[in-house]
Amino acid sequence: MITVETLFSGSSGNCTLVRTEKTAVLVDAGKNCKAVMSSLEMLGMTLSDLSAVFVTHEHRDHISALDVMMRRKAMPVHVTALSAPELCRGRSVGETAVVHPGLLYEAQVGDLAVRSFPLPHDSAGHVGYVFADAHGDTAGIATDMGYATMDAYNHLRRCRTVVLEANHDIDMLRMGPYPFPLKQRILSQGGHLSNADCAGLCCGLARSDTKRIILAHLSHENNTPEIAYQTVRAALDREGHTNFALSVAMRDQPGCAAIPCGQEERHPLWGFREEIIV
């Protein structure tokens, strides 16, 4: 079985742990090495337990911890050729980078089969990932996307667990303090996925094989865990997916947030923890 846990998630830094009983990898490593190590420690793990890192793209909130991390524990860092130049500016991460020429690539790490797929975002290169274990369990990760593509849907729809971006509430962004060009960038096709667009994609995934969705990469200024949760929950409920497991990744620590909207009994605080126990 594949377990997926966000170590931290949001505009300030992103890092997700994907593991089976035999293999553990990270998707992205933002913030700094200390934050990654202390988050791993909260889950009873260290850098030595990791076999590889898979980078989605070269924006700082996804790679800023990597150079120091590789000095402490060198391991393969998988990255696309488009994102590699920025990533490999750090000498130690450059030494362990595994550069893939295209946006679609496959890798095998222990018992985890990994497949990338392209996402629309204003970075040099950007991918999401699908993981599969030897028993056919699957998990997907897709954040930092200007809009929900059919291609992304087709890659994610067979995943049992999906980590999906719910970056902003459109009204909060429009009325908020960001300068106009930044608002335009976030709303553009190379920007970030709104709660409303995320809700549409979640409904599609709920109609497919997906059993659990974790909302991630929330904007600190233009979203709240409650608004993101309620927007997606309402869309799922309207379609009759009333028992679908939905949770929101916490910004600064591993796991998912408590949502004070009367849904806690149906959707427990630690969605991922529940998954580990089952």
Residues in contact with Zn ion by CB under 5 A are: 59, 61, 144
- Is 125 or 271 the residue whose CB approaches Zn ion more closely? 125
Q: How far is residue 74's CA from residue 72's CA, in Å, rounded to a whole number? A: 7
Return the structure tokens found at 55: 């980078």
CA nearest to 213, candidates 198, 196, 225, 191: 198
Nearest distance from C-beta of residue 64 to Zn ion, angstroms: 11
Cβ(62)–Cβ(30) below 8 Å: yes
Residue nearest to Zn ion (CB): 59
Provide the minimum distance between the beta carbon of 61 and Zn ion in the complex, in angstroms, as a whole number: 4
Q: Among candidates 220, 153, 222, which has minimal Cα distance to 9? A: 220
CB of 121 to Zn ion, least distance (A): 5
Cβ closest to Zn ion, residue 31 vs residue 59: 59
CB of 211 to Zn ion, least distance (A): 26
**Cα R_g (the chain), whole angstroms:** 17
In order of 111, 161, 162, the CA distances from 137 in angstroms are 11, 9, 12
The burial class, CB within 10 Å (0-12 / 13-18 / 19+), for 122 is middle
Q: Which one, 20 or 194, has the nearer CB to Zn ion? A: 194
Residue number, 148 or 206, with CB nearest to Zn ion = 148
Give least dist CB 180 to Zn ion, A.
Answer: 20
